[in-house]
Structure 1
Amino acid sequence: MNSLQTPHNRAHAEILQNRFGLRVAARLSAGSAELPHDISERLRATREQAIARRKQAVAVTRLRTAPASAARYGNTVALGGFSDDVLGLWGRLASTVLVIAMAVGLVTINIVQEDDRASEVAEVDTALLTDDLPPAAYSDPGFLQFLKTAPAQRTSSQ
């Protein structure tokens, strides 16, 4: 079942709800003919209070409705209906600052990672050029691991 209701479905559900309420009210009114006068007056006052509360609830619900509309495109839903006045000047300025901060952060992360990769490659090249290795070491699959651990072992043994 689709969780999004179209205005037609909501209107239909509200009509059904109102019909049900009218049937219950008619049934209660028919049964209240045999009740004593004081009880029927209390029931009438209670019904009027319930109707007043329902009207207030509907008014509050309508006031809390978002100013956006949802448009359906296939299996996706797109929000629309927002105007530039919703955010205001400070909201737009804050959004712009956040987007710029995120872009600067991403560029900084990229630069740091490239520097780390370059320094790792430089360490391997330096170890290759300065170390005295047998020719068989260059064809060994664990050669890169050897290069990474060899400087640490040399410094601890000296």
Structure 2
Amino acid sequence: MNKPQHSHFDQELDARMARFGLRVAAGLSEQSEQLPADIGERLRFAREQALLKARTARAAQPELQNAPSVVAVGASLAMRGGPADKSPRWLKLASLTPLLLLVLGLLLIQHSQWYQQIQAAAEVDTALLSKPLPPAAYSDPGFREYLNEEQE
């Protein structure tokens, strides 16, 4: 199965962001020893708040993974659902209903036209067999019109 190419770039971007975050955290930790106590206390509180927000973001992240996303497949785009994107079987079957109705409609139209052709041929045969015709009528190009005049 072909994986989208952009997932490699997403992983690389995540890795770079993680390295940057570690470097910033290390630099802040080194400088925090030289800060006054009140500023250190405010930073500790801000760090705890940031960690709390990060935990809630990580907890909400599986919900985002289950959301549908748009991925590049060749030269086109396609919708891809998450692992929990299992639609019910009846929904899949219901999506085939319009196609089934279309096919049934086309078959009904074909049958109707076939029946009309049989009826037209039967009318001509009935007219041929019920009326005495001269032999020249069979070779006449206006034979149908001759039959129509006789019926009127």
Report the TM-score range of the alignment, normalised by the length of the smaller protein. 0.3 to 0.5
TM-score, reference length from structure 1: 0.46
- Structure scoring higher RCO (CA < 8 A, sep ≥ 6) equals 2
Q: Based on CA coordinates, which of the two structures has the bigger radius of gyration?
A: 2
TM-score, reference length from structure 2: 0.47
